[in-house]
Amino acid sequence: MSNRSIMAAVLLASLASAAQAQSPKEQYNAETKRLATRYAEDKKLCADEQDSGQRMQCLRDAKSEYDKSLALAKAQYKASPAKPGECRDCGKVTSVVLGEKAGEGSALGVIAGGVAGALLGNQVGSGHGRQLATVAGAAGGAYAGKKIEEKAKSTKQWTVHVQYDNGRQASFHFDHDPQMLTGDRVQNANGSIIRR
């Protein structure tokens, strides 16, 4: 066996062991970088096409191939077994924002506001001016009644922003205080999050 054959065998063995030493996340990150580089190279090749129709088709084909390869890399990452103690759906709370969720107005608020506005408008002026004031009062009162009802039915809403360990971000809404603070470690659980 020649020295070159031995060197090639050693190199292949070291590459294989290095690939096994990488975590699934490291392998996924390396693969997505490789795919992004390949996609950029393909786009450069497409730019060399003289015909615009062929150039566009080339770009569509390159994008399609990139999307398929990326989907395959994601599927392999999700299918790879997690190491003990590793959590794929875990992340960190980046912020908790307390806001107000607008209530929904009903016909009752519109009608009550319209009647009140019409009564007040009827008190202004005389003749045609009074009729116009009544109509304007009814329209303004209906709008005001709707807004007042929406405000009265509004509720507090907590929005928790999360950055996952894989870089993905998400937001979760709660109608009660979730008792989470910025920096808390959380994990996905049935479409929501729980503290870890």
Q: What pLDDT does residue 92 have?
A: 92
In this predicted structure, the answer to whether residue 162 has a pLDDT above a threshold of 80 is yes
Q: What pLDDT does residue 117 have?
A: 64
Tell me the per-residue pLDDT of 111-131, one tens digit each, with 9 for 90 and over: 776 677 667 666 776 777 777
**pLDDT average, residue stretch 21-30:** 76
Tell me the per-residue pLDDT of 55-86, one tens digit each, with 9 for 90 and over: 899 889 889 988 988 888 888 777 666 565 66
In this predicted structure, the answer to whether residue 168 has a pLDDT above a threshold of 80 is yes
Q: What pLDDT does residue 129 have?
A: 72
* End-to-end CA gap in the chain: 56
Record the tokens describing residue 166, joined without a space. Answer: 């894989």
25 versus 1: the higher-pLDDT residue is 25
Tell me the per-residue pLDDT of 4-25, one tens digit each, with 9 for 90 and over: 566 555 555 555 555 556 677 7
β-partners of residue 163 are: 92, 169
Q: What percent of the chain has pLDDT over 70?
A: 73
Tokens 């009647």 correspond to what residue?
A: 115
Asked if residues 49 and 58 have their Cβ atoms less than 8 Å apart, the reply is yes
Asked if residues 157 and 101 have their Cβ atoms less than 8 Å apart, the reply is yes
Asked if residues 57 and 121 have their Cβ atoms less than 8 Å apart, the reply is no
Q: What percent of the chain has pLDDT over 90?
A: 7
Tell me the per-residue pLDDT of 38-62, one tens digit each, with 9 for 90 and over: 989 988 888 888 888 888 998 898 8
User: Over the chain, what is the mean pLDDT?
Assistant: 77
